[in-house]
Amino acid sequence: MNLSKRILVGGPVAAALALGAAAPAFAQVSGETAFVFNTLSFLMCGFLVMFMAAGFAMLESGMVRSKNVATICVKNISLYSIAGIMYYLIGYDLMYGIDAGGYIGSFSLFWSPDDTAALADAFPTEDAPGYAATSDWFFQMVFVATAASIVSGTVAERVKLWPFLIFVVFLTAVIYPIQGSWEWGAGWLDAEFGFSDFAGSTLVHSTGGWAALMGAIIIGARRGKYGADGRVNPMPGSSMPLATLGTFILWLGWFGFNGGSQLALGSAADAVAIADIFANTNAAAAGGVIAAMLASQVVFKKVDLTMALNGAIGGLVSITAEPLAPTLGGSILIGGVGGVLVVLAVPLLDKLKIDDVVGAIPAHLVCGIWGTLVVPVSNSDASFGGQIVGIIAIGLFVSIASAIVWFALKATIGVRADEEDEDMGLDRAELGMEAYPEFGAGSQRI
Amino acid sequence: MNLSKRILVGGPVAAALALGAAAPAFAQVSGETAFVFNTLSFLMCGFLVMFMAAGFAMLESGMVRSKNVATICVKNISLYSIAGIMYYLIGYDLMYGIDAGGYIGSFSLFWSPDDTAALADAFPTEDAPGYAATSDWFFQMVFVATAASIVSGTVAERVKLWPFLIFVVFLTAVIYPIQGSWEWGAGWLDAEFGFSDFAGSTLVHSTGGWAALMGAIIIGARRGKYGADGRVNPMPGSSMPLATLGTFILWLGWFGFNGGSQLALGSAADAVAIADIFANTNAAAAGGVIAAMLASQVVFKKVDLTMALNGAIGGLVSITAEPLAPTLGGSILIGGVGGVLVVLAVPLLDKLKIDDVVGAIPAHLVCGIWGTLVVPVSNSDASFGGQIVGIIAIGLFVSIASAIVWFALKATIGVRADEEDEDMGLDRAELGMEAYPEFGAGSQRI
Amino acid sequence: MNLSKRILVGGPVAAALALGAAAPAFAQVSGETAFVFNTLSFLMCGFLVMFMAAGFAMLESGMVRSKNVATICVKNISLYSIAGIMYYLIGYDLMYGIDAGGYIGSFSLFWSPDDTAALADAFPTEDAPGYAATSDWFFQMVFVATAASIVSGTVAERVKLWPFLIFVVFLTAVIYPIQGSWEWGAGWLDAEFGFSDFAGSTLVHSTGGWAALMGAIIIGARRGKYGADGRVNPMPGSSMPLATLGTFILWLGWFGFNGGSQLALGSAADAVAIADIFANTNAAAAGGVIAAMLASQVVFKKVDLTMALNGAIGGLVSITAEPLAPTLGGSILIGGVGGVLVVLAVPLLDKLKIDDVVGAIPAHLVCGIWGTLVVPVSNSDASFGGQIVGIIAIGLFVSIASAIVWFALKATIGVRADEEDEDMGLDRAELGMEAYPEFGAGSQRI
């Protein structure tokens, strides 16, 4: 069986107990100590993933034009907030309150933790989970937010604020949790197809990518992006250092994203696994950067900073489906292919007139598929057939569900800013402010 | 009794020991293991709180005009430095070297750690504290710095550098430690009134807020901020993405701020508590963001990014007095009220002609009071009477002491920049440099 | 014997075992628990040091002119990537695959971890190391990257991208590992001279500094920096808040840099040591900031933000050779001297017409020497003679090796951008893009 996103109840504790019988007592991680370690891992890795929200905010702030920067900031902080609230209201139970092999979880409201067993000092029993309930909730919550963050970058500079946030409500409350339940909730994909997605190349990154792709298609490209003659007009981002900072923050957060997905730190085996995951995650990102730089030198005859940055993200997404099994060298290669895919996919999207402001679809969707497909090469528990079923099932579900929500918003309150507002910039149109009132466009009005 | 900021000597260790008698040895966190966990919690949470200094620096850099950005940067890095030095010189002993129920601690110079007992492997005895002495010092030190950071934002753009830093010396060496000793030092507020302030809504945030309020009143508003006809002239901040980044960093740091205030990680109960605190802290911030956005849509007919950011901070401050007892839903509500308070308090301050450049008084003082007042709703160990006594006592002490220092500075070396310097910007006037020499105002001189 | 960078095989575990015989079992950190703690320390401290790459990127982005910002970003993310790949390919084995007292390690390709003993539950035996193999690799890898980051700032604004990256290949694959093996690999400097460099004032910071100095001399100053009449033309950095952010990130990362160099967290003694290191590291940085501000007030009659920032870094570098033994007060002094050295060294370099764009040579090289020299004052295991031998040996080796590579690059593909490209800025010349297309220089072409 492949790795599931949940610690089986009593799993690591029972394991520690079993080991306990065969070795001197002082050599063992005790039940309560393992409980603390596991909880600490969720919290530490969780705050790293939480900080990825800042990474997306900076990456997107740097990649949009200055007239839309304040709006992308408000979208990023509010989408993170909505994700946390919706996952509490309904999402977590929908994702994890599912029968093994099932298709949908329970529609309960207001999740609340139950740590009775642990607080009664009942660690060694089979019924006690090996971590604080809320630490798991927190860790899973920041993953939902990540999926939503991916969308905001793609549809930036033309989507209206409130309709976008309503989309985020549906994505984080319903769409993400349902597809997540199929695998990490131990639903049908996990049970019947042995689909394997350790930390979410498909479940998080492709999910965000499909939702973004549907948005980009349904909302349409920015005005003037694609000329009638097939010309692509570059619309360079306003701040390359902020985009770079955002990428570094994402890279940092990814140690938590992949490392925490081991879901335990309460034994030497877990510690070894997380250490390997950290190094592999870093190696894939490094491979992605260098491969994207070399590829852009070859394809475009120059190195492009945004390609290097998206190469890092592409490398990180590529290793996310299986950051444990590959060697360091294998991780560099997996990430390197991701970096090349980014460089190839960016112009392809432009050819299709799909306007992805920050390059999220190449990095998160394309590399998410690649990373998921390559799992069986290093992990013999996974099969190519199972991986393809998972990619298609989740891709279809998320795409259709997202398209329905985007279309419903379009048909009712509208999703797209007026032409005039788009030209003026969403900051002045929607917020009545400017991100840089003294610089660039802003300074001309002083 | 309510939670005190100090681990009682031998507390968690003795507790672990007591449990040890009733359960198999392998299930227990050992004394030395608990010592390591507790120390690790102080250090990890401490570095998160330390990073809040960067958060304040970025928030304030984004909220001031470009001609004052370098100055606010130098203030933030130097106030953090001064806080650390003064807390070593005198502050820590003044705060924690106090008799139970007392009014003032000891005026010893040069704090130094004593880990003799722990290093002698004496964990299980009653006399050994459950953590490295310096880890506690480090954690408390970053709290002092936070209080000082709050002040710099409010009085930005007109206070002179060295007088401001002298104020910081008094705040961090004397004012903060004395009021802190009353509660976290187990002084009279803790002993006689059962005042409850888990992580410092009043002790840290309102303290910073009162000091800032006195500064804003005594120093006066920025030139031109309030017109003779009662008009408020907006002076928009120079970089919204930096303000957003700062807010995200503060949010991240707050996990350490509130989580570390559990003061222990050496048992399953502590791990469960910190997990709940992490999630509640996040929920309150999320509630603050969404409530502030909705309130600003209602009140101002548009969403304002700075309100969303200050809504996050207001929500975080609101939950800080009691981040453990509420449910997740309760935390969203507590933070949400904080977010609304921010939106209401900002124009109120302008009506009173109190010029708070970054909105620190609404977020830290107003929400600090709200968060402290609401504690008894979820924590039955606290009483409304005790909370009100604490709010008033600390408010009066900090306000009077701060006013004395501000007035003394005003009467001697002066606290306010010359009119000409203020118009030119403090960066050129005080530092002889520019924050963005090629952009905005700077570019006009190239 | 002085502290070596490696945990001796079985060291902490054997110690725990020995203690285990004398005390009640429940008071001890068990072998497996210590393994998890040690690994966790490497990973947590490692991600903090990794984030220093973002700190250098922001510091350097803020200190170069806007026409070179995108290039410095691409250099920083790619040098970090290269460091990780080269350290895997050859560096780690070259550094740690060395015989005790030796001069050079083994030239093995493709490092891979061996955790067999730990995974076989063999912690208490003499043969089992006390941490996951990859966690140590990860922690050492981020140190190599730090050394390379130092170089990029000094030679910014005129070095070409690919030649710089080739230099990084040699620095991280060969030069850094060989000198590192002499001390942390337990080679001749450690064995014969008792050289002591706890976390790398010399091994990391001076190494980066010497490589940078050779680059600055061989590549030459930026065009127009030094007038024929001996005048120094200021070329102010483009963004002071980004430089400030970078410094704060470096400060944060330094807790991992120095704290993690304890190399263990598996006992109370280790926890006490790391706590002391955290506080001392912070104190030295604080001392550096305040001393640099006071010194620049005295020397230049004004406070300079960049001096305050470099004062922080100078203080941090100064304490890095011995962050454990000094008192808090001693650390403030050690860091304070570092801050003063920065203020004195910056104009000295200009007098020598050595053009160091970000001030890396004063902060990393000068303070690295100072910090290494002062070790014997607090640590009686070190001697002034041994320290001087280490400083000279590593200084000579790194300088000569770096000069050979810089000269070889100069003689073949060239290291310096054309005059026209330098004037235009490397962003447009090498990347065909601009960092801020709407601001400053960029806005004039809109």
Tell me the percentage of chain B whose pLDDT exceeds 70.
90
Lowest mean pLDDT across A4-18, A361-375, A398-412:
A4-18
Mean pLDDT of B84-109: 94
CATH code for the structural domain at A29-102+130-426:
1.10.3430.10
Smallest CA–CA distance, residue A52 to chain C, in Å, is 13
Q: Are the C-beta atoms of residues B357 and B154 closer than 8 Å to each other?
A: yes
pLDDT of residue A218 exceeding 50: yes
pLDDT at C125: 52
The nearest alpha carbon in chain C to A332 belongs to: C85
- What does the pLDDT look like over B261-319, one tens digit per residue? 999 999 999 999 999 999 999 999 999 999 999 999 999 999 999 999 999 999 999 99
pLDDT at B28: 58
Query: For residue B108, what are the contacts with CB-CB under 8 A and spacing of at least 6?
Result: B90, B93, B97
* B6 confidence band (pLDDT: 50, 70, 90): very low
pLDDT at C177: 97
Instruction: Give residue limits of the domains in chain C.
Output: 29-102+130-426
DSSP H or E stretch at residue B349: helix B328-351
> Cβ of A125: how many Cβ atoms within 10 Å?
16
- What does the pLDDT look like over A100-128, one tens digit per residue? 999 999 888 999 998 888 887 666 554 45
pLDDT of residue A4 exceeding 80: no
> Cβ of B347: how many Cβ atoms within 10 Å?
13
pLDDT at A14: 34
Smallest CA–CA distance, residue B52 to chain C, in Å, is 10
Interface of B with A in 21-40 (CB under 8 A): 22-30, 33, 37, 40
Smallest CA–CA distance, residue C167 to chain B, in Å, is 31
Checking A269-272 for CB contacts under 8 A at 24+ apart, the result is A269/C119, A270/A12, A270/A37, A270/A41, A270/C36, A271/C35, A271/C36, A271/C39, A271/C40, A271/C131, A271/C132, A271/C135, A272/C39, A272/C113, A272/C115, A272/C118, A272/C119, A272/C132, A272/C133, A272/C134
> Cβ of C144: how many Cβ atoms within 10 Å?
28
Mean pLDDT of A419-442: 91
> Cβ of B126: how many Cβ atoms within 10 Å?
11
- Mean pLDDT score of chain B: 91
pLDDT at C135: 97
* B117 confidence band (pLDDT: 50, 70, 90): confident
- What does the pLDDT look like over A258-308, one tens digit per residue? 999 999 999 999 999 999 999 999 999 999 999 999 999 999 999 999 999
pLDDT at A13: 31
**Beta-bridge partners for B159:** B416
Length of chain C: 446
Q: Which of A84, A111, A131 minimises the CB distance to B282?
A: A84
* pTM strictly above 0.80: yes
Q: Hunting for tokens 């090629």 — which residue is that?
A: B438
What number of H helices and E strands is found in chain B? 21, 0
* B120 confidence band (pLDDT: 50, 70, 90): confident
- Mean pLDDT score of chain C: 91
CB contact under 8 A, A239 and C88: no
pLDDT of residue B119 exceeding 90: no
pLDDT of residue A180 exceeding 60: yes
* A5 confidence band (pLDDT: 50, 70, 90): very low
pLDDT of residue B25 exceeding 70: no
Nearest 5°: phi and psi at C334? -60, -45
The nearest alpha carbon in chain C to B162 belongs to: C303
Give Cα separations from C89 to B87, B259, C166 (angstroms).
47, 40, 15
pLDDT of residue A30 exceeding 80: no
**Beta-bridge partners for A232:** A226
Report the sign of the C-alpha dihedral through residues A103, A107, A108, A113, in that order. positive
C-alpha B229/C-alpha B442 separation (Å) is: 32
Q: Are the C-beta atoms of residues B415 and B160 closer than 8 Å to each other?
A: yes
* C142 confidence band (pLDDT: 50, 70, 90): very high
- What does the pLDDT look like over C324-350, one tens digit per residue? 999 999 999 999 999 999 999 999 999
Checking C231-235 for CB contacts under 8 A at 24+ apart, the result is C232/C350, C235/C65, C235/C157, C235/C357
Three-state DSSP class for residue B6: coil
Give Cα separations from C338 to C288, C345, C351 (angstroms).
6, 10, 20
The nearest alpha carbon in chain A to C124 belongs to: A27
Interface of B with C in 44-103 (CB under 8 A): 44, 46-47, 50-51, 53-54, 57-58, 61-62, 69-71, 73-74, 76-78, 80-82, 84-85, 88
pLDDT of residue A79 exceeding 50: yes
Smallest CA–CA distance, residue A439 to chain C, in Å, is 6
Smallest CA–CA distance, residue B228 to chain C, in Å, is 34
C-alpha C363/C-alpha C375 separation (Å) is: 18
Measure the N-to-C terminal CA separation of chain A; round to a whole number of Å.
64
pLDDT of residue B1 exceeding 90: no
* C119 confidence band (pLDDT: 50, 70, 90): confident
pLDDT of residue C7 exceeding 80: no
Mean pLDDT of C315-327: 98
Q: Comparing C-alpha atoms, which of C48, C34, C290, C325 is closest to residue C197?
A: C325
- What does the pLDDT look like over B170-227, one tens digit per residue? 999 999 999 999 999 999 999 999 999 999 999 999 999 999 999 999 999 999 999 9
pLDDT at C2: 35
Q: Which two tokens stand for residue A58?
A: 């900076």
Chains that touch C (3 or more CB pairs under 8 A): A, B
C285 — contact with chain B (CB < 8 Å)? yes
Q: Are the C-beta atoms of residues B146 and B208 closer than 8 Å to each other?
A: yes
Residues of C in contact with B434 (CB under 8 A): 236, 240
pLDDT of residue C23 exceeding 60: no
CB contact under 8 A, A119 and B272: yes
Best mutation site among A36, A85, A116, A433 for testing chain B: the one with the most B CBs within 10 Å?
Answer: A36
Q: Hunting for tokens 């990073």 — which residue is that?
A: B51
Interface of B with C in 219-248 (CB under 8 A): 239, 242, 245
Q: Which of A267, A269, A327 minimises the CB distance to C112?
A: A327
pLDDT at B439: 87
Residues of C in contact with B110 (CB under 8 A): 327-329
- Give residue A89's Cα distance to chain centre: 21
Residues of A in contact with B309 (CB under 8 A): 77
* DSSP secondary structure string for all residues of C272-335: HHHHHHHHHHHHHHHHHHHHHHHHHHHHHSS--HHHHHHHHHHHHHHHHT-SSSS-HHHHHHHH
